[in-house]
């Protein structure tokens, strides 16, 4: 009889330990934060774009110039494609003529159309009197479709507008390192522009 009692006690202790273990593991578990792929960026290096276009500039060696063939594209429009980053900078050129203020206002309106999704829009002025180049870089913070837009002009003859787009859904967290990397390239493009 005593042996049955000891066996029952052992069984009860094992059962209680099992139940205690199961109950103790039911605590709140939080999911791991979402991770993003690590992107290896190349060294910034540039090459000259100098063709029959009325402007020239230096663009990254890890990108390529693609002519804009979309309906509505005009002469001297092209894209700087970044295949490894899944994005491109659209460049559109206009002759100023008597529409300088309209071109300025169009550029500003196109940049500020992103204000619905933007957290902020910062403007940075560029000027190079020696090359007769001046312009504005719009840095659009947040989940906007285009993180950068810019224009450069000499105010009398040439007007070049650019906008950066990625072929993905905008996500400021996952795109942040890529946007920061391409920002240096855009600044270099703007600073290297010359009119012909």
Please give the residue that has the higher pLDDT: either 171 or 95: 95
Residue 24: pLDDT band by 50, 70, 90 thresholds?
low
Would you list the DSSP string of 21-78?
HHHHTTS--PPPPP-----PPPPP-EEEE-SSSSEEEEEETTSEEEE--STT--TT-E
Angle formed at CA 48 by CA 67 and CA 85, multiple of 5 degrees:
60
Burial label for 111, CB within 10 Å (0-12, 13-18, 19+), is: buried
Tell me what the mean pLDDT of segment 163-168 comes to.
Answer: 94
**Is pLDDT above 90 for 25?**
no
Q: Can you give the pLDDT at residue 36?
A: 60
Can you give the pTM of this predicted structure? Answer: 0.79
Digit-coded pLDDT (tens) for 113-138: 998 888 999 999 999 999 999 999 99
How far apart CA 91 and CA 149 sit, in angstroms, is 10
Q: Can you give the pLDDT at residue 23?
A: 67
**Is pLDDT above 90 for 9?**
no
Name residues whose C-beta falls within 8 Å of residue 149's C-beta, 6 or more positions apart in sequence: 107, 110, 111, 114, 137, 138, 140, 161, 162, 163, 164
Digit-coded pLDDT (tens) for 179-196: 999 999 999 999 999 999
Please give the residue that has the higher pLDDT: either 26 or 147: 147
Terminal alpha carbon distance of the chain: 108
Digit-coded pLDDT (tens) for 54-96: 999 999 999 999 999 989 999 999 999 999 999 999 999 999 9
Tell me the helices (H) and strands (E) count for the chain, helix number first.
3, 10
Residue 27: pLDDT band by 50, 70, 90 thresholds?
low
**Is pLDDT above 60 for 1?**
no
The contacts found for 60-68 with CB under 8 angstroms, 24 or more apart, are 60/185, 60/188, 63/185, 68/92
Q: Can you give the pLDDT at residue 148?
A: 97
Q: Map out the domains of the chain with their CATH numbers.
A: 46-195 (3.40.1000)
Mean pLDDT for the chain overall: 89
């Amino acid at each position: 009889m005593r042996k049955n009692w000891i066996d029952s006690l052992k069984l009860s202790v094992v059962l209680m330990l099992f139940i205690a273990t199961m109950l103790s593991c039911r605590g709140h578990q939080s999911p791991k934060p979402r991770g993003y792929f690590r992107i290896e960026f190349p060294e910034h290096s540039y090459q000259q774009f100098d063709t029959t276009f009325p402007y020239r500039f230096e663009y990254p060696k890890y990108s390529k110039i693609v002519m804009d063939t979309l309906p509505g594209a005009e002469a001297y429009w092209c894209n700087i494609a970044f295949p490894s980053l899944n994005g491109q900078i659209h460049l559109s050129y206009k002759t100023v003529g008597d529409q300088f203020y309209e071109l300025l206002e169009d550029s500003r309106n196109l940049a500020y159309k992103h204000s619905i999704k933007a957290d902020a829009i910062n403007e940075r002025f560029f000027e190079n009197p020696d090359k007769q180049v001046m312009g504005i870089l719009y840095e659009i913070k947040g989940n906007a479709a285009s993180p950068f837009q810019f224009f450069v002009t000499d105010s009398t003859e040439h007007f070049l507008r650019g906008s950066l787009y990625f072929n993905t859904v905008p996500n400021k967290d996952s795109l942040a390192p890529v946007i920061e990397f391409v920002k240096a390239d855009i600044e270099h493009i703007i600073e290297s522009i010359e009119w012909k």
